Amino acid sequence: MLAQDASEEPAQSVLKEESPTDTADASAGEEPKEFTPPVIALGSAASEKPGEFEFKPSTFEGLVPGVSKSAEVLETLGEPRAKIETNGSQVLVYSMEPYDRVGIVIREDLADSIHLHFKQPVELKQLITELGLVEKTAVTQTTTSNKAFMLVWPEQGVTFHYKRNEQHDQVSRVSFTTIQASAYLDRGTHRQWFDYAGALSDAKAVQALEPMDQDAFILEAQVQQRMGNVKATNTALEKAIELSPGNTDLLLMQAGLISLVEDTKTMLQRVRAIRNNTRLSPLVRSRAAYMMGQLLVIDQSPDYKQAMIHHSEAIQRAREMMEDEDLENQYTAIRLVIEGHLAVAGDIARGSFAEEEKETVIPKWLNIAWELTDHLLRNDYHDKTIGMEVCRRSLESLALLDEGVDLEPWIDRVDQLSAELQQTEDASAEFLERIKWDWALALAHGTEAARKGKDADRVQQLGMESYQLFQKFLEVETVSPQWDNAQTHAAVGALCYTLGSVKAIDNQNHEEACQWYDKAIEYLTTDDVEKYSRGMGWHGERMVSMGLSYWKEGNRPKGLNLTKRGIQWIERAVQTQGFSNQNLKIPYSNLAIMYRALGQPQEAEKISDAAEALSKQR
């Protein structure tokens, strides 16, 4: 019970009634009759098998919604005081203490739902305690009145009908119903922003109750994507698309799973058709334009200038809706504009633009993205992780610049946001893991960006903080999909390379450098990591640089192997990505020296000739 003021009467139980010690009509020697409250048994969805459900609704006097027949109701409770006929159903009204009345809705000869009406409104928290419910497992639903709400427990099939009050929320009625898929879906939709495991469980429950409900598979896909599980995301999306083939939002979401896109040209055609459809909303066409840009970026021969055009188009289309009367549309538009600015900054960073222009323009695009993000966060935007995502992507673009920039505002935001998000109420372990993933990658990119400056201590500080976060999740027996993917491998590989380069170049300590390079190679040689670096050429140059340290440290076979692999990547970049062939001159020279030292003069001569030919082209 809640504490009461001294002047107030003690709170009474709302589910039972105390027997009077004496009554006006009782004889002197007659014992008072003990009041027996109606029996309420809460239901559950627990099953002995993990991931499965055994739905059991709550019961009232042994009556089970959706199971008990009308004859059983009459046998248990007797004749009602009234019967009310409604469209397709009948309401049996009973007088039962301690309630004002109990209504049982009969539909198709079954007790469809049971409603307990209180004589006086009851304090909500007191009723939750007395029934043995847990408030945080309920979901709030609105009604046609802006003052009346419902608090629903999906597993139990229990609903509180209440009104908000300045002092205490007041419940007027409790309902027991069959287990409703809609309640699970509402709760999962709410949970998806902080409780990934809970939301995923709710999506699975809906699928068990309503196998053809596309929204359950969409919810599953959204949660799996936040958890970094790309394959599970795609499986859920394919089921949702099967149930709703023409849903453009689903097709665009599938196009966003870039690691699974094998034929970018075909996917680009599908997305272009959506963007060109004038009957679709500006927000859908904006998302399509954005995805066209993303597909051009991941192509075997990326076209960053054309990607920038599409990303800019996405911004313009979304801007039309930033002042929309519908708040959801407004927020969606702002988020699209944010993503567009981040993408344009990335296009410029990776494209063949003048370096001075990059250093001036990129921070401006990123600052606009942050200003809009800050606006959303200050206005209670539902996805609190957007701040970390924007910081991570911004630092990724800044890391691609050749000269150092002021990183401290971004690092301060990362530190502040990560601390705040780790305090999120009722957050699941998977949500917290996602925060630490964004945090680790943001600091890894920050380390790369800091390396362009002259503060080696800052590089070491950021780098070690990032590495310790990676270590916690990568060096375990079973690595979760959030960390076991090409994007993460590219980031941790680049981080270890950067820390190794400080040892090799600044300290001329190739032994310690190679210890970091051992870790870098483990991740940089996995599939598709080059898609998440500056490109094949940059990826190859890292290999060559590490090869030199291994050679100087005395590990000639590894030094030679890495140099040759690096050259192969650079040659592919020259052929397919417009990478300057002049970037092959030093790697060729290194390889020629290695061949001579290994007693292979003919191989050395071939490579030297190639290097000389490049010199003549300048």
pLDDT digits (tens, 9 = 90+) for 260-282: 888 899 999 999 999 999 999 99
Q: Once rounded to an integer, what is the mean pLDDT over residues 233-254?
A: 96
Q: What is d(CA 422, CA 431) in angstroms, rounded to the nearest whole number?
A: 9
The pLDDT tens digits of the residues spanning 332-347 come to: 999 999 999 999 999 9
Q: What is d(CA 288, CA 268) in angstroms, rounded to the nearest whole number?
A: 10
Task: Report the phi/psi class of residue 420: left, alpha or beta, with left for phi > 0 and alpha for psi in -120 to 50.
Answer: alpha
Which two three-digit tokens encode residue 76? Answer: 């248990």
pLDDT band at 592 (very low <50, low <70, confident <90, very high): very high
Q: Once rounded to an integer, what is the mean pLDDT over residues 567-587?
A: 87
The pLDDT tens digits of the residues spanning 113-160 come to: 999 999 999 999 999 999 999 999 999 999 988 889 999 999 999 999
pLDDT(617) > 90: no
- Burial (CB < 10 A; 0-12, 13-18, 19+), residue 170, is middle
Q: What is the pLDDT of residue 19?
A: 45
Which two three-digit tokens encode residue 206? Answer: 């809906």
Task: Report the phi/psi class of residue 133: left, alpha or beta, with left for phi > 0 and alpha for psi in -120 to 50.
Answer: beta
Alpha carbons within 13 angstroms on the beta-carbon side of residue 429 total 2
pLDDT(539) > 50: yes
Q: 85 pairs with which residues across the strands?
A: 90
Q: 150 pairs with which residues across the strands?
A: 141, 161
159, 150 Cβ separation under 8 angstroms = yes
* Integer angstrom CA distances of residue 206 from 200, 209, 215, 298: 10, 5, 9, 35
Q: Which residue has the tokens 């801007």?
A: 319
Q: What is the pLDDT of residue 16?
A: 54
Q: Where are the beta strands (DSSP E) in 164-236?
A: 170-177
Q: Is 160 helix (H, G, I), strand (E, B) or coil?
A: strand
Q: What is d(CA 557, CA 510) in angstroms, rounded to the nearest whole number?
A: 16
Q: What is the pLDDT of residue 26?
A: 47
- Burial (CB < 10 A; 0-12, 13-18, 19+), residue 460, is middle
Q: What is d(CA 368, CA 397) in angstroms, rounded to the nearest whole number?
A: 14
The pLDDT tens digits of the residues spanning 15-68 come to: 554 444 444 454 455 555 555 678 999 999 987 777 789 999 999 999 999 999
Q: What is d(CA 124, CA 161) in angstroms, rounded to the nearest whole number?
A: 9
Alpha carbons within 13 angstroms on the beta-carbon side of residue 454 total 0
The pLDDT tens digits of the residues spanning 298-317 come to: 888 889 999 999 999 999 99
For the chain, give the mean pLDDT.
Answer: 91
- Residue 8 gets which letter from DSSP? S
Q: What is the pLDDT of residue 37?
A: 75
The pLDDT tens digits of the residues spanning 414-465 come to: 999 999 999 999 999 999 999 999 999 999 999 999 998 878 889 999 999 9
Alpha helices per DSSP H over 257-380: 264-275, 282-298, 304-319, 327-350, 355-378
Per-residue three-class SS string for 539-571: HHHHHHHHHHHHHHHCCHHHHHHHHHHHHHHHH
Q: What is the pLDDT of residue 14?
A: 52
Q: What is d(CA 493, CA 76) in angstroms, rounded to the nearest whole number?
A: 70
Q: Is 458 helix (H, G, I), strand (E, B) or coil?
A: helix
Q: What is d(CA 183, CA 140) in angstroms, rounded to the nearest whole number?
A: 9
In degrees, rounded to 5, the angle at the alpha carbon of residue 160 between the alpha carbons of residues 158 and 165 is 160
Alpha carbons within 13 angstroms on the beta-carbon side of residue 165 total 13
- Burial (CB < 10 A; 0-12, 13-18, 19+), residue 355, is exposed
Domain boundaries, the chain: 40-179, 253-383
Provide the 10 A C-beta neighbour count for residue 338: 24
Alpha helices per DSSP H over 399-535: 408-421, 429-451, 456-474, 486-501, 510-524
Q: What is the pLDDT of residue 284?
A: 97
Q: What is d(CA 555, CA 562) in angstroms, rounded to the nearest whole number?
A: 11
Q: What is d(CA 369, CA 335) in angstroms, rounded to the nearest whole number?
A: 9
* Integer angstrom CA distances of residue 584 from 331, 525, 545, 575: 47, 20, 12, 12
In degrees, rounded to 5, the angle at the alpha carbon of residue 141 between the alpha carbons of residues 136 and 143 is 150
343, 569 Cβ separation under 8 angstroms = no
Sheet containing strand 158-163, strands side by side: 82-86, 89-94, 99-107, 110-123, 170-177, 158-163, 148-153, 139-142
pLDDT band at 496 (very low <50, low <70, confident <90, very high): very high
pLDDT(556) > 70: yes
By residue count, the chain amounts to: 618
The pLDDT tens digits of the residues spanning 214-227 come to: 999 999 999 999 99
Q: What is the pTM of this model?
A: 0.88
439, 432 Cβ separation under 8 angstroms = no
